[in-house]
Amino acid sequence: MIWASGIKEIFIAQHAVDFRKGPDGLIAECYAMELDPYSGDCVVFVHRSRRAVKVICGDAHGVWLLQRRFEGGALREMFPFLTQRSFVSTSAGELGLLLEGATCEVKSKALPWRKAAQRDKPDVGVLPVRSHGTFVAQEKIK
């Protein structure tokens, strides 16, 4: 999607928002939650009836406002609204599922891969990196 090029983080608002608000009103909601769509924050708002979502994100040049309406009420089981302004962080994959109307719950996520720490032995399987960024196979020393 062209609008997704400058997204740094994705957040879902956990409070009900008046969907009569346009981009300026939703930007004000973002600022009230200390989020900034102009710096790469993507904020998802769910309609009180749970039949629509609005996504606002942007960059230094402007904001995109995406609205998705679900004709069958696909989000009915999801999103208990809180009374205070709050948000939860999510991933691009979960946003894609939400925009498809999926009713799923993420119970756990895989941990991010981390580079293996260098150990005392030279044959532990850690490959040294050349200056131009390619890996070199390391022979075992007997």
DSSP secondary structure of 105-132: -----PPPP-PPPP-SSTTSSPPPBPTT
Give percent of the chain above pLDDT 70: 67
Cα(40)–Cα(130) distance, rounded to whole angstroms? 33
| Domain locations along the chain | 2-100
Across 62-76, average pLDDT: 81
Among 36-50, 81-95, 112-126, the range with the most confident prediction by mean pLDDT is 36-50
Across 33-48, average pLDDT: 90
pLDDT in the model for residue 34: 92
Beta pairing partners, 45: 54
pLDDT in the model for residue 62: 87
Residue 4 buriedness (CB in 10 A; 0-12 / 13-18 / 19+): middle
pLDDT in the model for residue 141: 46
pLDDT in the model for residue 110: 75
Cα dist from 51 to 1, 22, 79, whole Å:
22, 17, 11
pLDDT in the model for residue 127: 44
Contact 18, 93 (CB under 8 A): no
Q: What is the pTM of this model?
A: 0.68
Query: Which residues have C-beta within 8 Å of that of residue 82, sequence separation ≥ 6?
Result: 14, 15
Across 106-118, average pLDDT: 66
